[in-house]
Amino acid sequence: MAAPVAVTVSLSHDGSSWSDVSAYVSAAPLSFQRGRSRALGEWQPGTFNLPVLNFARAIDPTNDAATFQSRPGDHIKIALGGTTHWRGRVRQASVKYERGGTYPTSRLILSGSDGLSTLAKATVTDLVDSVVGYGTYYTGSLIGLVLALSSLDYFNASTIDAGDVVTSLPDTGTVNALAVIQTCTRTEGGNSQLFTLKDGTLRWRSRYARPSQVVVFGGSGIPIRDADMDYTDEEWANRVSLTMAQHVDPDQTSSTSVTSGTGTKNFTLDALTSDGFGFSAGAAVYVESLGSPGNNMTGTVTSFVESTRALVCDITSKNGSSTRTDWVFTFTEPATTVTASDAQSRATFDEYITPPDIATYHRNAVVAAAEATLIAASRAYPSRRISSIDVELARLSSAQRSSVLGLEIGDALDVSIALGAGTPSTLRQVRQIDGIAHQISGSGSHLVTFTLGNEATVNWTATLKQNGTTKTTSAPLVVYTVNDDWCEASFYFSAQQTGTINTEVKVTPTGLPLPSVSGHMAVGTFLFAGSGGNASGVVRWDGTDLTFRVHNSSTPLGQTPNFALAVNDLLAGSLSFPIA
């Protein structure tokens, strides 16, 4: 067995002046972890548990003359081989005084959590007013605004992606800060992740964030001690409901000449101050004159056309009777639930498997419906998932240790498990890391456990064609996640394209092992939705390319930077594209 990796533990009262307490670390197991422990669980604070031999009460919390008097709130760093792998705060110091305190050594256990626990203990009151007022934001932008609140006083550094889903702030009272960010993560969906980095920095990754590295385990790669494979109905759901929180959108204006009164009123909104998706039929509306607030009207939205900004309202009450051209609107969208199901799974199993509603901050019901469709398709059947692997550092070469210790949540593992007799004889999956845990004992054992999440995101190239003619001058980027019978994508086109009948998106995998088309369904259906509209059609796989043919579209394809895409019944068999 190789020499153990050097462990250094440092404590600090203020986060800047550190004391090395490694000499007091006990031979009892030291453990620390970050991320989440199951693929569909919430992202929770990371934790540590540190047994200490408290010689002569050197770091005793009750010893005012201690070398370092440990206490709740202290900063802690745990380094492996000189590199920090966990940073957070001490939350509890438990002391056991042996032999009634007459023995010179007492046992101290320090435990605590990382920066996410600060958010878990914090609340945000009147979220709408506290952030920047009403409006719409991408998921990552909303998280950044919450973290920047002076009332929150969040001290940790953070690295937050912009996000790919448009949200709206819920019209709510006091809410838990971590719950807000967890809801943003559910709204983003896909492969989004919320965790702290090794140095304590808060990290939020968007749904299309790609792994910075892929490391092979098993087979010809790094040896695995144990691997867990889950084949369960815990993650099975062929009917899914997303509930969008009630939200408010004020400050839209119109210069249309309208007389205050009841009944049907027609307006043309001025340049939108948000993305406009709050103006769906049925939304409550309050409109008043900027120069004469006594002239106001209350009712509901009958219809709204974003391209022309034409708004029709059914006014049920009013004050004043003047004709004005300085109208200011406040729209209130009620909480809305959208549901999607997988009919083929329902027919196969003769039952609907429906988990609890998923709470989100979606602003656009079309996008929410596409996300529900994607979840229902991706979880329509029980899946055989490699859920975690254990690696014993003491049995690895120096280079293999470096690879293991260099991995971070969000990286990808290409895992192969030899199954022995039967067919298949090997199980191989490429999945992103959702959690990392260390357990170090005095016997020289250092076990690293990787919790594995969704299939890793990979890069393909794509071309856009209409009636056989290429419509782009440079290859756009398409990011793909592929599972047994579903996939999702985000298209980034270099220029606007017209989304009409016979518009095709041809996706050509590059640098990836391609499966044979034999045994697979050649044609499936798809729906994609973005902040510019939605479209539907068929998708075909011919063994070389995936081709999406648009049948119906409410917007020019590529009008906005990306589209989330859900594909149903793409394949009858099993298809996997490992990262090369």
Residue 541 pLDDT: 54
Residue 574 pLDDT: 27
Q: How far apart are CA 224 and CA 413, in angstroms?
A: 12
Q: How far apart are CA 71 and CA 64, in angstroms?
A: 11
| Closest to 216 in 3D by CA, of 48, 391, 436 | 391
Residue 480 pLDDT: 42
Per-residue pLDDT of the chain (580 residues; tens, 9 = 90+): 567 899 999 999 998 999 999 988 886 789 999 999 877 788 999 999 999 888 878 888 888 888 888 889 999 999 999 999 999 999 999 888 766 655 556 788 999 999 999 898 888 876 665 555 555 678 898 898 888 887 777 777 899 998 878 777 666 667 888 988 999 998 888 778 999 999 999 999 988 777 888 899 998 899 999 999 888 777 778 888 888 877 777 678 899 999 999 999 999 998 775 544 556 788 889 999 999 999 999 999 998 887 788 999 999 999 999 999 999 998 887 778 888 888 877 888 887 877 788 888 887 676 677 778 777 766 777 777 889 999 999 999 999 999 999 999 999 898 989 888 888 788 888 789 999 999 998 778 999 999 998 877 655 455 555 555 555 434 433 444 443 333 444 443 333 333 333 455 555 554 433 433 333 333 444 444 444 445 555 555 555 565 655 544 444 443 333 333 333 333 222 222 222 2
The residues, ordered by sequence, that sit 6+ positions from 180 with a Cβ below 8 Å of its Cβ are 124, 127, 142, 143, 146
| Closest to 574 in 3D by CA, of 453, 507, 486, 508 | 486
Contact yes or no for 26/469 (Cβ under 8 A): no
* Rg of the Cα atoms in the chain: 28
> Could you tell me the pTM of the whole model?
0.77
φ and ψ at 571, to 5 degrees?
-135, 145
Residue 154 pLDDT: 76
Residue 20 pLDDT: 94
State the DSSP code for 172. -
Provide the angle, in degrees to the nearest 10, between the axes of the packed helices 139-147 and 177-188.
Answer: 170
Query: Alpha-carbon dihedral of residues 253, 256, 257, 260, nearest 10 degrees?
Result: -50
Q: How far apart are CA 25 and CA 22, in angstroms?
A: 5
Identify how many contiguous H helices and E strands the chain contains and give both numbers: 7, 40
Give exposure, 337-371, as e/b (b: 16+ Cβ within 10 Å).
ebebbbebbbeeeeeebeeeebbbbbbbbbbbbbb
Q: How far apart are CA 298 and CA 287, in angstroms?
A: 7
Residue 169 pLDDT: 65
- 60: β partners: none
